[in-house]
A and B are shown apart, each in its own frame.
Chain A
Amino acid sequence: MTTLTDPPQASFRLSMLLSDTRYRSYTFQFIALMLLIAAIAFLGSNLMRNLAAAGLNISYQFLGSPAGYDINQTLVEYTSQSTNAKAALVGILNTLLVAFLACVTATVLGVIAGVLRLSNNWLVSKLMSFYVEIFRNIPVLIWIIIIFTIMIAVLPGPRAFRGDEPSASMVFDAIAFTNRGVYIPAPVWGPGSMVVVITFLLSVVGVFAYRRYATKLLYDTGRLLPMGWPSLAIFFVPALLAYLVMGMPIGLEYPELKGFNFSGGIKVGGPLIALWFALSIYTGAFIAENVRAGIQAISKGQSEAAGALGLRQGRIMNLVVLPQALRVIIPPLISQYLNITKNSSLAIAVGYADITATLGGITLNQTGRAIECVLLLMLFYLTISLSISAVMNVYNNSVKLKER
């Protein structure tokens, strides 16, 4: 009679950390890690000691003291008596604003230019390659300065709008283009305007729901519902109806000349426009090349096969080529977004109050805390860049080839 027993379980002994090949590599990696940490700690403490000896003690107390300077574009409440930390926050928001705007515009420009570059129309494709080559090969700082200088020199000052026969006038009596920025009407929220806003938000959700339903219907039954005009209708009609029913609660406040400047309305500052525009067209040229590369990476057989099935040109591009091309386009697109965010630090060239201009510029100068400010700046850009990569990688995972 035999008894079936488990093979003897080797119990873990400390000596196995060295003798057993299964554990030995961990031992050595652990020792290496400890040595590395010790080395970094030693370098760090040495640095601090030497800095202290040079009178450069690291201290972040200045963040809590009043900044003392004014900023021309603030997305949150800020006065010259706010703290340096608040000034840094204003800068961070301004950086994020211009980076977001430029990412969106650059993507739109890049996709259009990239697709058109492959156009069969000789003039269109040559125009697009001209755009790409010109804008890609001149440094972005030069573009920022050129655009800003042209804005200042060509657009009229607010003084030109004054007088009985002004030499400049507002477009549609609503928008003023000046060399200090563009003034546009601002919405005035009257009572009941919340209803309109909520209706509008709901109809946006409705558009997505409708498109989802239409796609599902197409896949399930093969019935093709029209996409374009119903989407538009859902987007506009309910909000418009609510607006009329509630008695037009949302008015517009037009900018008007008052004192030295226009007041009222929303001011989109010249520096923001120059920076936004320059970053968009510059990075758009790179994105156009990414898009072109992505499209050309899809073998010709794909579009020919789609054509053989009777699909039209537009549908071949939208349903067959672009979804596959996205897999090639997304990874380099991430680094273009990172470039936009980092290049936005050139804002100081035109006096845009981004984080480099507030924390890394004025605060640094006024407090003399150069090392502290630069360390904070590095931390900020690192965090933002890693966050953008993380978000974009999630998107990349959702479009990349699913291997099963």
Chain B
Amino acid sequence: MKKSVFFGALTAAAGLAAGVAAAGTLDDVKARGTLNCGVTTGLVGFAAPDSNGEWEGFDVAVCRAVAAAVLGDGNAVEFVPTTGKTRFTALASGEIDMLARNTTWTFSRDVDLKFTFVGVNYYDGQGFMVPKDLGVSSAKDLDGATVCIQTGTTTELNLADFFRSNNISYEPVPIETNAEAQQQYLAGACDVYTTDASGLAATRATFEAPGDHVLLPEIISKEPLGPLVRHGDNEWGDIVRWTLNALITAEELGVTSANMTEMMAGTNNPEINRLLGTEGTLGEMLGLDADWAAKALAVGGNYGEIFEQNIGEATPIGLARGLNAQWTDGGLLYSPPFR
């Protein structure tokens, strides 16, 4: 079948990616020496290059943790910027090994597009922002309003569903980027701006007079954002899933980048020992080194540290933990046990 491979390469050159072996992503990544991770083209706080061209952000941290767990180096990542349109094709064709691009976990993306969502790294929901002087206090008062909306996102469908189920009408203004939406909203070309509540908060924080705008109380959708991989390579899916779980568990157990070296010497909590690889053979089961989770944690710290550093209340994004607190603090983060 040499010929077929040759023509496969030809068609790939024609702009369509040739098929790649469905299994063995771990071996591919190790052989290549870098992890190809799909991220956004730039959303401050989640994934954006800093002034030195280094990618940083909440989603980027997940990529770096996986790279550290597999390759031992959090910088061995090739960041592939993807748009809403290209992200799924890039992952399906094997151009990227994993996608961490605030992508909502939905049934059809999981089942029809054949991707495996390995977990949730941010629980979000869709909200509305309106100018205060409009005198609107509920999204149900928005009959006939003009709504600015980022096109190509699940928010577009939620919006249609919300207005249909409440039997009120609206006029959508589809917009490509957050920056354009901001401009149109501030100029009054639309009455309402809707997107994920985290995005609204981040956008409002950049306004000259944030107090003139209110977020309506309704959250009309569930937006669980998480990293995803292709169907068909469960070993690789397990690695990404448990790297994310390791970050979450580490916060729950109080393992931070500061006290990790100390804890590596051995603690009297067996779960911490299993997590950090000083006890048991969890790393071996994954096909990785025993201290894989420790390496992942060493890059940016545990989930809480990554959150605070990139999108937490001390940053310009200024998001509270809310739903994204540990289950012990009343949030939804709940990692299965390391056992």
Contacts and interface: CB of A to CB of B under 8 A. Distances in A.
A25 interface: no
A149 B176 CA distance: 14
B160 A70 contact: yes
B60 to A, nearest CB: 22
Contact of A361 (B7, B85, B114, B231): B85
Given A46-B11, A56-B92, A152-B183, A366 B19 contact: no
B220 interface: no
A180 B232 CA distance: 48
B8 A50 contact: yes
Contacts of A47: 11, 16
Contacts of A357: 151, 174
B173 A46 contact: no
Contacts, number: 142
A179 B151 contact: no
Interface string B97-112: 0000000000011001
Given A53-B19, A72-B171, A366-B157, A259 B145 contact: yes
Given A47-B16, A260-B146, A261-B171, A56 B89 contact: yes
Contacts of B12: 50
Contacts of A80: 160-161, 164
Interface string A336-357: 0000000000001101010001
B164 A152 contact: no
Contacts of A43: 7, 10-11
B174 A353 contact: yes
B205 interface: no
Contact of A50 (B11, B145, B153, B191): B11
Report, as a range, how many residues of chain B touch the other chain.
35 or more
Given A46-B4, A361-B85, A349 B22 contact: no
Contacts of B157: 68-69, 366
B189 A179 contact: yes
B152 interface: yes
Counting chain A CB atoms within 10 Å of each CB, which of B12, B146, B171, B176 scores highest? B171
B174 A370 contact: no
Contacts of B145: 259-261
Contacts of B188: 156-157, 159, 179
B144 A365 contact: no
A320 interface: no
Given A55-B92, A69-B160, A80-B160, A261 B174 contact: no
B144 A259 contact: yes
Interface in A176-233: 179-180
Contact of B8 (A46, A56, A149, A152): A46
Which size class do A's interface residues fall under? Answer: 35 or more
Interface in B203-259: 230-232
B172 A261 contact: no
B314 interface: no
B176 A152 contact: no
A54 B171 contact: no
B152 A157 contact: no
A263 B4 CA distance: 61
Given A55-B22, A56-B89, A152 B16 contact: no
Contacts of B231: 55
Contacts of A362: 151-152, 156, 174
Contacts of B153: 365
B279 interface: no
Contacts of A261: 144-146, 171
A307 interface: no
A97 B119 CA distance: 45
A153 interface: yes
Contacts of B18: 50, 54
Contact of A263 (B112, B144, B156): B144
A110 interface: no
Interface in B103-141: 108-109, 112-114, 134
A156 B189 CA distance: 9
A71 to B, nearest CB: 7
A258 interface: yes
B189 A53 contact: no
B125 to A, nearest CB: 18
A114 interface: no
Interface of A: 42-43, 46-47, 49-56, 68-72, 79-81, 149, 152-153, 156-157, 159, 179-180, 258-261, 263, 270, 348-349, 351, 353, 357, 361-362, 364-368, 370-371
24 contacts: A46-B4, A52-B19, A54-B17, A54-B94, A68-B160, A69-B159, A70-B160, A72-B171, A81-B164, A152-B184, A153-B187, A179-B188, A258-B144, A259-B144, A261-B144, A261-B171, A348-B176, A351-B151, A364-B85, A365-B85, A368-B109, A368-B112, A370-B88, A371-B16
Top 9 nearest A-B pairs by Cβ distance?
A157-B188, A53-B19, A365-B152, A80-B160, A50-B19, A259-B144, A54-B19, A260-B145, A368-B113
